[in-house]
Amino acid sequence: MMIVSWSVVILGALTVFVLGWITARGVTGARALSAPVPARAFANVCPALRSEIESSIAAGRKIEAIKLLRDATGMGLQESKDAVEAMEQV
């Protein structure tokens, strides 16, 4: 009888592990399908301001570019920083 109860415990733990693994894979898969950061960030920015942000990036004034993007879009600091860094690599 004791063998059966340990089998149930091991089977339950294995089930929890597999379900957690499947759930975690689903979350990362959803993130990968979203639009790239620069495309979302610059969708609502006028061409003149985009040009100003790009020139700030080219001049090495990344903080200024982040501030301009945040003021124009209302994005958070981390998302603005990621967008500017992605534009920096292009």
Measured CA to CA, the distance from residue 17 to residue 56 in angstroms comes to: 48
* Domain spans, the chain: 1-34, 36-90
pLDDT of residue 19: 79
Please identify every stretch of the chain with a pLDDT value under 70, giving residue numbers as ranges: 1-4, 25-39
pLDDT of residue 35: 56
Question: Which structure tokens are listed for 42?
Answer: 């610059």
Measured CA to CA, the distance from residue 86 to residue 66 in angstroms comes to: 12
pLDDT of residue 36: 62
